[in-house]
Structure formats: structure tokens, C-alpha cells
Amino acid sequence: MFQQTGFRRVKRGYREIPESLAQGPKSVIKKSSWSELRASLDDEINPAVVHPESHFQEIQDGSRSVFKRGYNSLTVDNLVGPPPQPQEPSDPLFPYQWYLKNTGQNGGKARLDLNVEAAWAQGITGLNVTTAIMDDGVDYMHPDIINNYNARASYDFSSNDPFPYPRYTDDWFNSHGTRCAGEVSAAKDNDVCGVGVAYNSLVAGIRMLDQPYMTDLIEANSMGHQPDLIDIYSASWGPTDDGRTVDGPRNATMRAIVRGVNEGRKGLGNIYVWASGDGGEDDDCNCDGYAASMWTISINSAINTGENAHYDESCSSTLASTFSNGAKDPNTGVATTDLYGKCTKTHSGTSAAAPEAAGVFALAIEANRLLTWRDMQHLTVLTSKRNSLFDSKSRFFWTMNGVGLEFNHLFGFGVLDAGAMVALAKQWKTVPARFHCEAGSSIGLARIPTDKSLFLTIDTQACAGLETEVNYLEHVQAVVTLNSTRRGAVQLFLRSPMGTRSMILSERPNDADSTDGFTKWPFMTTHTWAEYPRGKWSLEVEFVTGPPMQGFVKEWTLLLHGTKEAPYTNLPVTDPHSKLAVVKKAHEDRRKM
């Protein structure tokens, strides 16, 4: 056995770090309460806290037969006609779940929601899809969760046992995972709390946040846990959102993610959903290697009026958005389950946004069990909506990319639309093979001037004629090595041959680093999705206005990821105004040239 060095990972949605955590491993109190908990589990298992594993299997076997009375069973009713229209949930908190159905309650914007009723009306509720909540545990005995709890797919990596039950603290600090779980799959019509986005889906608990320090091994084990039983992993945590951290997955975790997307779900690829971060305008989620990864779908949030939340981070790797709190009225938080059978109306942060997306993706998987991890990203791009999302400070506007897809630096391609995603998922044909083209490098010291921008260009054929030819983009990465007297004063923009300008690094006023800089850091953009990559790419480097700085770019490598073949040729277009129709037309026009 070997000891791993620990590092810090924080929940998103909780701004305050309790002293015991902040003090780290030196905190004796923390350590002793921790060993007490372990000891209590080892000695005598309290049946009120932990059940034998078979208990949950029994519950699930029982509950599954209940589900089968729904849409999927081959009863005469189901063979004869369409499934009955589900009634609006009768759960007491449903009227507060404006993110599911926004009627304009509490000053919100009517119809600004996830459009889940349109997905439910298609007979899709998440049946037999499992989402794992990687967090501080899940109160799996909560009456709104217990029947959807997938014990077989669950584990406790914080204390190495099969029971990811949250550790008790007086301030309910460990309520985070339970709140996230309810958003995905709280039960419908049971008079308890509200209802999950995918209320017939299964939820697993992966307890891994509740120890003084994180290790690569705990993260890797969590993200690679039961990849054939778990479809979606939802993570609402990451490197500290202090606006001066540049950090990401370590070696083992990186390998676990890669294995997940390549081999998980029996080869279709696991879906990793990530909260983009709560660092507000002073942080940039492209400095968070989990959120910025191509293999995660990172999700930002909007509040009930369509504004971004004040804590929202922006970055070009964000794919789409869902909803969270932020308005003054406390009833505009996220209503969901809470610890010990309770409910809450005030779940918050991009923490609350990621599980909503996981729920929508669970619906898409039930609609089409063959969706790959890349299909899910394409579906997200094509069905997310601008709706009425806007930047409350008018910094970032909606812009059209080179093939007519609208994006916003804060919200990615817009807010998820469950109804549209399920409908398109049902018709979906898996996208063509993906290739990785190393498009070019610019090596050698280039000084960043103080009064104007530095432009570095790469002219590329995008590997035309080679094995790795890319003609239709998915993700683009600019791998950059640079140093500056103040890292937080550097801004980076990437301009594509079709003219789309992504801000791949924004100012971070708290980042005073003058020694580390960025070393081969992969800045990612989704904004050039479906564009043609051939031609001139330029990296624009500038200092923000302020005291004079010095800096050098040492290296820049452009990596293009996407398909050789046009991705949507086999898909029927039912709505001529849909994003699918727009992109398909752009691709067809291009081929005629």
C-alpha cells in the first residue's frame, strides 16, 4: 500500500467551508469524529442507519414490479393505444419546482423551465436508467428516494463500505448529495417533497467527498465505479472556486474518465455531468480541468428570470445550462429532498444545476438506450434553447457560430429542453467515428505586449488525407504554455477559420501567480461545434488594463476533435426551423461548394 498526497475538492453551492475542513488533517476533532464513525460501522451496524445490502435489492425488486404497470409492460392496454397522459404531479413541493414547470410563480418567467412535462408526455420518465451522485452521501432511506435507490451501483469510498449514508453533523453539512439525488429521481405522487426530473429512474450514491482531503485514488475509484450499472455520473464539486486555482484530474482519475467514456455502459460510454463552478465572475471554469474536459458535460445555471446567477462562472467549455437559485425571494431556490426525510426549497449553486441535467440525460437514455457519450453532447447542442437567458451585466451576448448555432459564453448552447431532447433522441442515429487531429503548433518564446494583443496563428488542413482527418468539429483544445508576472491578468481568445471567437481564458483578479503560469494547459471551447476546421486559427493573447505586466507564450498546440463524415446526414428533419435543420443545411451547402 502507498499513501497518496491529498488535495482539496469542494462542494458547489456551499460557500462557507467549516473550520474543521479548512484546517485539514491537523484537525484532531475532525479526525476523532471520523474514526468514531468508522468504528461505529465496524462494531455494530445500527439498522436504523444501514441496511444489509439485500434489503435494497428487495425494495428494488418490489418497486420494479410496480413500475412495470407503467408504459413498458406488455399489457393489452399498452398494445392497443398510446400511453395515458401523466397527470401533473400531486407532490406538495411540485408548485415550488419552477425549474420543472415555470408558471411565473415567485416572479419567474413563465415557460422558462426544463420542459420536462413534454418529455413525460412522451411516456419517458427515466425507467431503468441509473444516475450516480458522487458526493457526500445520499439519505437512501428518504421516503422520496428509497424506492428509486440502486444499492448495487452504490458505494462509500469515504469510509470503504457499501453504505453511502451521509455522516451526521449538527449543521447538516452533508446534505448536498441527498439534495442532488432528489432532483434526479424523487418519486412522483407520494405526498412527499417534490418530484425528480426522471422520477422513475434509479439513483446511486457514491460517497467520496467526506474526508479531510481528496486523493486521486478516491476520485478514480468513484468515477470508475460500476460503469456498466451506472449510466450517468453527476458531480457537483471540483477544485476550490477561489479564482486563483488551476487544477484538474490527476493521472488515475484521468484514466478512469477515459475508460468510462470508451468502455462504460458496455461500450457506449458513461455520461459525466459536471457543475461548471461557483466562483462567480472572478473565476474561469476553463481553469478547472474537470469542467473543461471534453469527456464531461459541464453545466452552468440561470435563475428563474433568465439571468445568470451571481455565483456563475463562465467559460467556453460549458455546453449548456439548467436552473438554480439567485433571486431575492427564498422560494426561488431549488426545491428537493433533504436529509432525514425532510424537504428543502433552498438548494443552491451550480451544484443544483448539474443533477437537473443528469435527470434530463436519464430521460434521453430511456428514449434511446443506444446513445453514446458523444450522441448526448450532440443532442445537448442541438436541442438546448436560448429561451430568455441573458447576462445580467451585459458582458456576454448570444452569438451565432459559423454553421448557425447560437451560443453564449455564460450559458453554452442554452437551457436544456427535455421534451425536445427526448423527441430527437428517439430518432437519433449514432454520430460517425471521432478523430483527433493535431492541427499544428507554434513553438518559441513570444512576448505579450503591454498595450496591444499578441496574435499567434496556425494554418491547418485539419489532417486532410490522413487517418485523423477532421471535417466537422466537436471539441477544440488550445494547449498553452505561458508565464506572466501575473497569471490572472492574461486573457486568451481563440478565433476559428469561420470567424467564431471564443474567450478561452478570462481575467481572474485574484490569481496573482507569477511562477507557475500555465504548462501545457488544455483550454477547451465548444463554441465552434459543427464548424469546418480548415484554415487559419488564431490565438489572441492580451493583458487586461492595469499595472504593466510581462509575459511570454512559450508554446501553443491546436487539437481538433470531431468527425470526418457529416454527423447528421441520416437524421430526418421534422422542423425546418430547428437547429438540426440549420446545421444540416449549412453542411449540405458546404458540400456543394
Helix 176-185 and helix 349-367: axis angle, to 10°? 30
CA-CA distance, 434 to 269, in Å (whole number)? 13
136 touches Ca ion by CB under 5 A: no
Residue 175 designated active-site: no
Q: What's the closest the beta carbon of residue 277 comes to Ca ion, in angstroms?
A: 3
How many residues make contact with Ca ion (CB under 5 A)? 16
Closer residue to Ca ion (CB): 145 or 470: 145
Q: Exactly one of 351, 384, 502, 506 is catalytic; name it.
A: 351
Q: Residue 185: which of 131, 139, 225, 142 has the closest Cα?
A: 131
What lies within 8 Å, CB to CB, of 518 at 6+ separation is 246, 480, 481, 482, 487
Q: What's the closest the beta carbon of residue 413 comes to Ca ion, in angstroms?
A: 20
Q: What's the closest the beta carbon of residue 341 comes to Ca ion, in angstroms?
A: 11
Residue 135 designated active-site: yes
Under DSSP, the state recorded for 284 is: B
Q: Pick the piece of the chain touching Ca ion (CB under 5 A) from 6-14, 163-171, 229-237, 569-577.
A: 163-171
Closer residue to Ca ion (CB): 241 or 555: 241
Q: What's the closest the beta carbon of residue 488 comes to Ca ion, in angstroms?
A: 13
Question: Which residue(s) pair with 399 in the sheet?
Answer: 407
Closer residue to Ca ion (CB): 197 or 566: 197
Q: Residue 354: which of 524, 512, 184 has the closest Cα?
A: 184
CA-CA distance, 310 to 279, in Å (whole number)? 9
516 touches 297 (CB < 8 A): no
Q: Exactly one of 51, 142, 176, 409 is catalytic; name it.
A: 176
187 touches Ca ion by CB under 5 A: yes
392 touches 450 (CB < 8 A): no
The one among 277, 349, 412, 488 contacting Ca ion by CB under 5 A = 277
Q: What's the closest the beta carbon of residue 283 comes to Ca ion, in angstroms?
A: 4
Q: Pick the piece of the chain touching Ca ion (CB under 5 A) from 58-66, 152-160, 362-370, 583-591.
A: 152-160
Q: What's the closest the beta carbon of residue 76 comes to Ca ion, in angstroms?
A: 30
CA-CA distance, 220 to 256, in Å (whole number)? 5
CA-CA distance, 63 to 53, in Å (whole number)? 16
Phi, psi of 151 (to 5 degrees): -70, -35
Residue 351 designated active-site: yes
Closer residue to Ca ion (CB): 66 or 445: 66
288 touches Ca ion by CB under 5 A: yes
Q: Pick the piece of the chain touching Ca ion (CB under 5 A) from 241-249, 381-389, 435-443, 476-484.
A: 241-249
Q: Residue 493: which of 485, 502, 481, 484 has the closest Cα?
A: 502
DSSP 555-567: EEEEEEEEESS-T
Tell me if residue 82 falls in helix, strand or coil: coil
The one among 145, 180, 184, 192 contacting Ca ion by CB under 5 A = 192
Closer residue to Ca ion (CB): 9 or 374: 9
Q: Looking at beta carbons, which residue is closest to Ca ion?
A: 277
CA-CA distance, 43 to 64, in Å (whole number)? 33
CA-CA distance, 292 to 269, in Å (whole number)? 18
Hey, which residues between 52 and 111 contact Ca ion (CB under 5 A)?
91
Q: What's the closest the beta carbon of residue 22 comes to Ca ion, in angstroms?
A: 18
Closer residue to Ca ion (CB): 185 or 322: 185
Q: Residue 125: which of 205, 186, 62 has the closest Cα?
A: 186
CA-CA distance, 31 to 213, in Å (whole number)? 11
281 touches Ca ion by CB under 5 A: no
Question: Cα separations (Å) of 125 from 14, 70, 79, 230, 365?
Answer: 30, 10, 19, 17, 10
Q: Exactly one of 113, 135, 156, 241 is catalytic; name it.
A: 135
556 touches Ca ion by CB under 5 A: no
Closer residue to Ca ion (CB): 277 or 306: 277
Hey, which bits of 303-357 come out as E strands? 320-323, 334-337, 343-347
Q: Residue 371: which of 148, 124, 1, 34 has the closest Cα?
A: 124
Radius of gyration of the chain (CA): 23
Q: Pick the piece of the chain touching Ca ion (CB under 5 A) from 61-69, 136-144, 346-354, 460-468.
A: 136-144
Q: Residue 410: which of 328, 506, 333 has the closest Cα?
A: 506
Q: Pick the piece of the chain touching Ca ion (CB under 5 A) from 186-194, 468-476, 509-517, 540-548.
A: 186-194
Q: What's the closest the beta carbon of residue 303 comes to Ca ion, in angstroms?
A: 19
Closer residue to Ca ion (CB): 247 or 406: 247
In the chain, how long is the greatest CA-to-CA distance?
76
Q: Please state, as a whole number, how many other Cβ atoms lie within 10 Å of the Cβ of residue 515.
A: 7
Name the residue with cell 474518465.
Answer: 257
CA-CA distance, 464 to 437, in Å (whole number)? 9
The one among 210, 241, 338, 375 contacting Ca ion by CB under 5 A = 241
Q: What's the closest the beta carbon of residue 238 comes to Ca ion, in angstroms?
A: 6
Q: Pick the piece of the chain touching Ca ion (CB under 5 A) from 108-116, 271-279, 459-467, 541-549.
A: 271-279
CA-CA distance, 341 to 143, in Å (whole number)? 6
The one among 161, 247, 263, 540 contacting Ca ion by CB under 5 A = 161
Q: Pick the piece of the chain touching Ca ion (CB under 5 A) from 124-132, 233-241, 247-255, 496-504.
A: 233-241
Q: Pick the piece of the chain touching Ca ion (CB under 5 A) from 114-122, 139-147, 448-456, 536-544.
A: 139-147
Q: What's the closest the beta carbon of residue 400 comes to Ca ion, in angstroms?
A: 28
CA-CA distance, 348 to 582, in Å (whole number)? 35
Closer residue to Ca ion (CB): 345 or 534: 345
144 touches Ca ion by CB under 5 A: yes
| Cα dihedral sign, 524-528-532-537 | negative
The one among 113, 283, 312, 469 contacting Ca ion by CB under 5 A = 283
Closer residue to Ca ion (CB): 186 or 480: 186
156 touches Ca ion by CB under 5 A: yes
Q: What's the closest the beta carbon of residue 469 comes to Ca ion, in angstroms?
A: 35
**Can you give the binding site for Ca ion, defined by CB under 5 A?**
91, 144, 156, 159, 161, 163, 186-187, 190, 192-193, 241, 277, 279, 283, 288
Residues annotated as catalytic are: 135, 176, 351
